[in-house]
Amino acid sequence: MTASIAHGAVEVGTELPAQSFPVTRATLVQYAGASGDFNPIHWNEKFAREVGLPDVIAHGMFTMAEAIRVVTDWAGDPGAVVEYGVRFTKPVVVPNDGTGALIEVSGKVAAVLDDNLVRVDLLAMSEGKKVLGMARAVVRLA
Amino acid sequence: MALDQSFVGRTYPPTPAYEVGREKIREFAEAVGDTNPAYTDPEAAKALGYPDVIAPPTFVFSITYRAAGQVVQDPQLGLDYSRVVHGDQKFAYVRPVRAGDRLTVTSTIEAIKTMAGNDIVDIRGEVHDESGEHVVTAFTKLVARAAEEA
């Protein structure tokens, strides 16, 4: 465990560098293969519309995987994450227009805990909508 | 239709071991566009104190979700799988998953609720390695949406 950020260097309100993550249909096909989640709502527009969705949507777990990168890139050591949870509030709609969608993630330190731990609260937005709720990670700093 | 509360606390048999491979971790890291070398370069992972490459934090879900399928597809429970969506997901890590791990998952139904016609099932998946060491716990909330009026 060798996070590159010192516990003493952060305080409540410390902002982590925000990042934007593009997602296209090709991204979703690749993620489906890597994760084993082949639910057609993530690649088949006809199927997605038939079950009442506006279009193909990104896997919630894909969005969850992107959001934590704000924490792991900041901390340096991805294994320093000791807890991570989210609520899937709104889908990330991915149009078939060659551009796709953008997931914009910011985070800030919400609590400084004992044992070199901090809690980071994440905000993940797409098309102006909050796509994750209660997105929180606890990470062990140096 | 409300699900049977007597299923709360039910634990399913551990899954067969899933062997975590370096290339599977690489494939996952590439799929989420994450270039952290700890996922692909054993030397970089060793520099952080790990014996081999580690997996991104959400990688383990593909293993725990498959295990949760035991619950979802339990004919006695009778969850309508075609209406299931993923509500919440949380992980509590003892250590990161790493290449060479042989992981088994033991799933337990933690809670069953019915709200506004939606069936909500909380599943806890305890992940252990081959030596019996606890690696991570996955908390998965599944929501079977109420059937629409015909």
Percentage of residues in chain B having pLDDT higher than 70 = 97
Closest residue of B to A69, CA-based?
Answer: B34
A64-123 pLDDT per residue, tens? 999 999 999 999 999 999 999 999 999 999 999 989 999 999 999 999 999 999 999 999
Determine whether the interchain pair A78/B61 forms a contact, defined as Cβ–Cβ distance below 8 Å.
no
CA gap B140, B90 in Å, rounded: 7
Q: Which of B48, B105, B148 to mutate to test the interface with A (most CBs of A within 10 A)?
A: B48
Q: What is the ipTM of this complex?
A: 0.96
Q: What angle do CA A141, B40, A81 make, to 5 degrees?
A: 25
Please give the Cα distance from A115 to A100 (Å, whole number). 41
To the nearest whole number, what is the mean pLDDT of chain A? 96
Q: CB A72 to CB B48 under 8 A?
A: no
The shortest CB-CB distance from A31 to any of B31, B49, B85 is to B31
Q: Which residues of B touch A (CB under 8 A)?
A: 24, 27-28, 30-34, 36, 38-39, 47-50, 54, 56-58, 61-62, 65-66, 85-93, 95-96, 139
Side chain identity, residue A83: E
Of B27, B36, B48, the CB nearest to A34: B27
Tell me the pLDDT tens digit for each residue of B72-130.
Answer: 889 899 888 888 889 999 999 999 999 999 999 999 999 999 988 899 999 999 999 99
User: Which residues in chain A have Cβ-Cβ distances shorter than 8 Å to B34?
Assistant: 65, 69, 72
From its phi and psi, is residue A54 left (phi > 0), alpha (psi between -120 and 50) or beta? alpha
Question: Mean pLDDT score of chain B, rounded to an integer?
Answer: 94
pLDDT at B149 over 60: no
Chain B nearest-CA residue for A133 = B88
Position A49 pLDDT exceeds 60: yes
pLDDT for res B150: 41
Among B29, B16, B35, residue whose Cα is nearest residue B56: B29
pLDDT digits (tens, 9 = 90+) for B132-143: 999 999 999 999
State the pTM of this model.
0.95
3-state class (DSSP) for residue B148? coil
Using only the alpha carbons of chain B, give its radius of gyration: 17
Structural tokens at position B22? 């370096």
The answer to whether the Cβ–Cβ distance between A85 and B90 falls below 8 Å is: yes
Burial class (CB in 10 A: 0-12, 13-18, 19+), B43: exposed
Which residues in chain A have Cβ-Cβ distances shorter than 8 Å to B27? 33-34
